[in-house]
Structure 1
């Protein structure tokens, strides 16, 4: 991507000031900004910066905003999540409701809901914690009390909250409150967040049905809690299945293998 000196300087400055940028990323960015002088060209310094970031990018070890910058500069598809955030902050029409589910890594929680009729938006984010505007690094440090979750904006004329609960139970291991599949820690706990008495009643009934079906040897430990502030995650995490389809497919296959194995094992134990 061809950038002027002013445009590149502005983007690098924004990343330097971003609280989610790690110290070693910031060091590289500061060095690049200092080299941007009237005697240099933007293209040359951008190429050098991308070369410095490449080893970290290849290991998927850049923070979200820097990862977006790297992918944009190398010509990869980068989702603009401004519309999603706008939908999150906008008031709901009379026919729209919201559901908030935590079920492990939010990367694998979007596509199963978003591709269904009646879904207006699925937003990845953080909820249930004590820190305002948390970053991804803060949440995965397990120090803020947040969990990764999805906020689903749905059209009640086409899909019901009960329908969404049915999908949710198919996506998780309801016996594991220490994480989900390969994602460990309190930020990956499975929780149903309810925002009304009606949602709580439906959530409790759906949980009881899972218990009564006796599909699992271990107790059902999914919590049902009141909705708290939902903070949309960084752009990099929104609609991950579209932005990083190959990586998403690998993660989703591994997740589904585990859940199928678990259900078959439970069925065998019952017999």
Structure 2
């Protein structure tokens, strides 16, 4: 892969000025920038990769810096800008949007993305009080946002009801302080509705879960009107495709938890029925 000197320098300057860049990341970038007159371009790239690699391997860089590291290291990292751009475009005929929050958005994309009729599943933040939130702010619970996915779908091929049915299979609806290993208010489960029809479907669906008496604890999933949805950084888009092994470990833990919960609840309900 050919890297352009001017483009890399521009990326470095932008990351230095980016308020989301952590201080130690900024210091590493400034150190490399200041040495530009003393070393050649190849050495400069080696210095940056050497500084960033330890935390990149542990996925502990801020998203924009992580994208930059993957760019200069040559590791594959699909650009999701075309998908994110769909968020700002007007919906064509027969397209509708659904927004669900259910814990970490890394695990909320794949189950919807593979269904016929899905145009795009975009990871992002919504339900908060501030504009342009970033990942660290949301996870730090400074903005009131939750991690969520915005689903653009062709309602001729898949219905909103079907999407809601999938949603209930992905979450623990009794936990309003996170989901499985993801703890905190930014991971609470919420269905954000775009119109009266979606609200009616969501509310009827929630009531059906309550009436099923599968869960011994109260169903705490909120149903709220849509607020502005902010697409997340490129690193988080299509995470299940970009970081396959890490995603599989997280998804396996989540699936096992939900499967065990479902089995226990079904056994409890059966026992209660037999005893009654």
TM-score, L = length of structure 1: 0.97
Q: What pairs with 1:162-173 in structure 2 (closer than 5 Å)?
A: 162-173=161-172
Counterpart position of 2:219: 220
Distance 1:115 1:202 in 2: 22
Question: Structure 1 residue 60: deviation in Å?
Answer: 1.2
After superposition, the CA RMSD in angstroms is 1.0
Distance 1:269 1:261 in 2: 12
Distance 1:25 1:251 in 2: 27
How many residue pairs get aligned? The number is 270
8 Å CA contact 2:3–2:72 kept in 1: the answer is no
Question: Structure 1 residue 195: deviation in Å?
Answer: 0.8
Question: Structure 1 residue 8: deviation in Å?
Answer: 2.1
List structure 1 segments (4+ residues) > 3 angstroms apart after TM superposition.
none
Counterpart position of 1:59: 58
Question: Structure 1 residue 3: deviation in Å?
Answer: 2.7
Counterpart position of 1:211: 210
Counterpart position of 1:68: 67
Cα shift readout 1:224-250 (whole Å, capped 9, x = no counterpart): 000000000000000101111111111
Question: Structure 1 residue 82: deviation in Å?
Answer: 1.5
Distance 1:30 1:147 in 2: 33
Counterpart position of 1:7: 7
Distance 2:6 2:85 in 1: 28
**Secondary structure of residue in 1 paired with 2:230:** strand
Counterpart position of 1:18: 18
Distance 1:194 1:124 in 2: 17
- Larger deviation: 211-220 or 169-178? 211-220
Question: Structure 1 residue 40: deviation in Å?
Answer: 1.7
Distance 2:128 2:180 in 1: 22
Distance 1:6 1:47 in 2: 16
8 Å CA contact 1:3–1:42 kept in 2: the answer is no
8 Å CA contact 1:147–1:189 kept in 2: the answer is yes
8 Å CA contact 1:125–1:148 kept in 2: the answer is yes
8 Å CA contact 1:127–1:229 kept in 2: the answer is yes
Cα shift readout 1:127-155 (whole Å, capped 9, x = no counterpart): 00001000000000111100000000000
TM-score, L = length of structure 2: 0.96
**Secondary structure of residue in 1 paired with 2:97:** strand
2:135 maps to 1:136: yes
Q: What pairs with 1:188-199 in structure 2 (closer than 5 Å)?
A: 188-199=187-198
Q: What pairs with 1:61-140 in structure 2 (closer than 5 Å)?
A: 61-140=60-139
Question: Structure 1 residue 5: deviation in Å?
Answer: 3.1
Unaligned runs of 5+ in 2: 272-276
Distance 2:191 2:217 in 1: 19
8 Å CA contact 1:100–1:193 kept in 2: the answer is yes
Question: Structure 1 residue 269: deviation in Å?
Answer: 2.0
- Larger deviation: 66-75 or 238-247? 66-75
8 Å CA contact 2:123–2:232 kept in 1: the answer is yes
Distance 2:36 2:246 in 1: 34
Counterpart position of 1:36: 36
Unaligned runs of 5+ in 1: none
Distance 2:105 2:166 in 1: 15
Distance 1:92 1:2 in 2: 37
Counterpart position of 2:145: 146
Distance 2:257 2:172 in 1: 9
Cα shift readout 1:34-85 (whole Å, capped 9, x = no counterpart): 1111x42111111111111111112211000111111122221112121112
Counterpart position of 2:257: 258
Question: Structure 1 residue 6: deviation in Å?
Answer: 2.0
Distance 1:79 1:6 in 2: 22
Counterpart position of 1:249: 248
